[in-house]
Structure formats: structure tokens, C-alpha cells
């Protein structure tokens, strides 16, 4: 039996439900249960939250953010106390990084599994349908989708978000483009996951969260506001995939709002070097079929 160990955090109830649905649709009826903050003895327990007890952990977000290295009282959450035996990650970059980490000695290529990102199963299908009926407005649609600013303490914060600093620049972009904002659920009352605004966007402005990887996967023009976040990014989240985006200059980076306007106007396609990095992080084998990959793997591990 597979047990989904759920969180009660109101900020993540929507994404938790969405992700679990995309996995459970590929599981046989009667093969799984759900509990809230409870480890079920005798079952294969699965969770998306690092502080909860479960045999299998997959992050609730697609981003790295050094999630698997989180610590409390100087102990990793990915340890015996949390009963962790397997990790599910988006692709081979994290398989390699975790397997080679001396801080996570219990994990190697036999129990760190590349599974893709299940939310893209739905997003890719919805994007294909939307593109068939997309209205021709004559203006590019620009979406600002920052990660949350939780625990934000200025320049030394270990949470690197363009929120709220980028907000004053939206008015300038609105002169030339249709602009929209999708704040992280921690920063808004509506906790539903973002998807319609992402589907409609031609250009996405973001920083280091899940939206980065989803925007790239959907073929959006993705731009990082370096003048706001790069300095902080290079000081924190070191060695994470998102840190590498800034340290090694992957993708499109704007050094000012004027530079960003130029990049939006040009909207160049993803270059080969960035594409290779993206596919190293997010396994292309499971784009659109990640939910089935996870379900099949859970069933195999349960045996």
C-alpha cells in the first residue's frame, strides 16, 4: 500500500492536491491511501514536504533551492529520523549532485530517482490547447511571477525574490505590453496554483522558483531581473541549480529595466548551452508523462 502523507499548510494545499491528482490517476484503485501529518507503518509513505516522515520525498516545487540540504538543529531532514529511503528529483543534475554529496551519505544512484515534474503533464497539454485559440492582440503578454519573500531580511536574506522590489517597474512595462502578476501563494490570499496566466504569457519575469523551470519547459521567453536579485543570489543558495543560472549566466539576464525592455522586444530563442543545462536539470524523457513515471516507480518500490 502507498500512503500519501499530506501537509496542512494552507499555502501549499492547492499545489499538493494538484500534484497528487496527477500521480494518483495512474495508480490502481485501492492501491493508495492519504493521511495528514501521519506516517503509516507497513505502507510506502510518500510526501512532498521535507519536514514530514516518509520513505519517499519529492519536493513540492520543481526548483532545487538546496531543498534536500535543509537542516534543523544541525541535522538534515533527509535522514533516518524522517525515515527517508528514496528521493525523487526532476532530472539528472540533482541525481548527480545528491549522489556525490558528502552531506547526504545515505543516497546514491540506486535511491535517487529522476522523475521529471508532474505539473507539466497538465501544463503542456493545456498550453497546446490554448495555442490553438490564442487571441491576436498585437501586444506581447508579460507575466511577473516571483518566488515568495518569506523570511526576507534585505540584502542578506537567504530567500531571493524579486518581490516586492520589481513591482514599481511594472507600470513602465504596461506602456508597451499587456502585463500580469502572479505572486507566490505565500504572498497572496488566493492560494490556487498559477496556470492560466502562465499559459497566456509570451514573456515571464522570475527569479529562482518553480516558475523558472515551468516557463522554460513551455517555451516562454524567461528573463531574470539581475539588477534586483543577482548580488543576493550569488551570496546564497550556493551550488543550487538556480545559483548556477546566475553564476554561469544561463538564459536571459537583464541588467536594468531599460535592458529588460530591449530583451522583451527581441525575445530570442533559448540558446543551445541553456537548453543543455535545462535538460540536465529537468529530464526531457518525462516531459508530459511525469505523473505516470512517479506512479510506476512508487508501485515498484512498494513491492
CATH number at residue 79: 3.40.50
What is the domain count for the chain?
2
CA–CA separation, 186 and 183 (whole Å): 8
Q: How many CB atoms lie within 10 A of CB 205?
A: 29
**Ranges 65-69, 171-175, 194-198, 240-244: which has the least confidence:** 194-198
pLDDT more than 70, % of the chain: 91
The band of 269, judged by pLDDT with boundaries at 50, 70 and 90, is very high
* Domain co-membership, 169 together with 64: no
The pTM of this model reads 0.92
* Domain co-membership, 79 together with 178: no
* Domain co-membership, 61 together with 198: no
Before 250, cis peptide (omega within 30)? no
Residue 244 corresponds to which cell in the numbers above?
548556477
* Domain co-membership, 15 together with 149: no
* Domain co-membership, 112 together with 124: no
* Domain co-membership, 129 together with 145: yes
* Domain co-membership, 54 together with 179: no
- If phi > 0 it is left, if psi is from -120 to 50 it is alpha, else beta; for residue 224 that is beta
Sorted by sequence, the CB contacts under 8 Å of residue 94 that are 6+ apart come out as: 64, 68, 112, 114, 241, 281
* Domain co-membership, 200 together with 297: no
Sorted by sequence, the CB contacts under 8 Å of residue 44 that are 6+ apart come out as: 1, 2, 3, 55, 56, 298, 301, 302
* Domain co-membership, 145 together with 187: yes
Question: pLDDT for 31-85, tens place per residue?
Answer: 999 999 999 999 999 999 999 999 999 999 999 999 999 876 666 778 767 899 9
The overall average pLDDT reported for the chain is 91
Closest CA to 114 of 280, 302, 300: 280
CA–CA separation, 206 and 199 (whole Å): 15
The band of 260, judged by pLDDT with boundaries at 50, 70 and 90, is very high
* Domain co-membership, 177 together with 242: yes
User: What confidence score (pLDDT) does residue 185 get?
Assistant: 52
* Domain co-membership, 177 together with 262: yes
Q: Are 142 and 179 in contact (CB under 8 A)?
A: yes
Domain that holds residue 36: 2-117+289-302
* Domain co-membership, 53 together with 195: no
Buried-state track 2-19, b at ≥16 Cβ within 10 A, e below 16: bbbbbbeeebbbebbeeb
Amino acid at each position: 500500500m502507498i500512503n500519501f502523507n499530506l501537509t496542512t499548510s494552507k499555502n501549499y494545499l492547492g499545489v499538493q492536491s494538484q500534484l497528487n491528482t496527477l500521480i494518483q490517476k495512474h495508480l490502481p484503485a485501492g492501491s493508495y491511501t492519504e493521511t495528514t501529518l501521519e506516517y503509516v507503518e507497513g505502507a510506502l509513505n510518500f510526501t512532498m514536504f521535507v519536514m514530514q516522515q516518509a520513505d519517499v520525498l519529492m519536493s513540492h516545487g520543481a526548483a532545487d533551492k538546496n531543498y534536500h540540504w535543509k537542516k534543523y538543529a544541525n541535522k538534515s531532514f533527509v535522514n533516518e529520523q524522517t525515515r527517508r529511503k528514496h528521493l525523487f528529483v526532476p532530472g539528472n543534475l540533482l541525481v548527480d549532485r545528491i549522489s556525490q554529496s558528502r552531506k547526504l551519505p545515505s543516497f546514491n544512484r540506486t535511491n535517487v530517482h529522476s522523475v521529471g515534474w508532474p505539473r507539466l503533464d497538465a501544463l503542456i497539454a493545456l498550453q497546446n490547447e490554448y495555442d490553438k485559440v490564442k487571441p491576436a492582440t498585437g501586444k506581447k503578454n508579460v507575466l511577473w511571477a516571483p518566488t515568495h519573500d518569506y523570511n526576507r531580511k534585505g540584502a542578506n536574506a537567504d530567500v531571493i525574490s524579486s518581490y516586492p522590489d520589481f513591482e514599481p517597474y511594472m507600470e513602465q512595462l504596461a506602456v508597451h505590453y499587456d502585463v500580469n502578476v502572479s505572486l507566490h501563494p505565500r504572498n497572496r490570499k488566493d492560494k490556487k496554483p498559477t496556470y492560466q496566466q502562465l499559459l497566456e504569457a509570451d514573456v515571464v519575469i522570475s527569479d529562482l522558483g518553480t516558475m523558472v523551470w515551468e516557463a522554460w519547459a513551455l517555451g516562454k521567453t524567461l528573463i531574470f531581473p539581475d539588477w534586483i536579485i543577482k548580488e543576493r543570489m550569488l551570496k546564497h543558495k550556493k551550488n543550487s541549480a538556480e545559483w548556477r543560472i546566475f553564476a554561469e549566466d544561463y538564459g536571459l539576464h537583464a541588467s536594468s529595466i531599460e535592458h529588460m525592455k530591449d530583451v522583451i522586444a527581441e525575445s530570442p530563442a533559448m540558446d543551445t548551452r541553456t537548453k543543455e543545462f535545462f535538460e540536465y536539470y529537468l529530464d526531457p524523457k518525462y516531459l508530459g508523462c511525469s505523473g505516470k513515471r512517479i506512479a510506476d516507480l512508487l508501485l515498484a518500490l512498494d513491492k
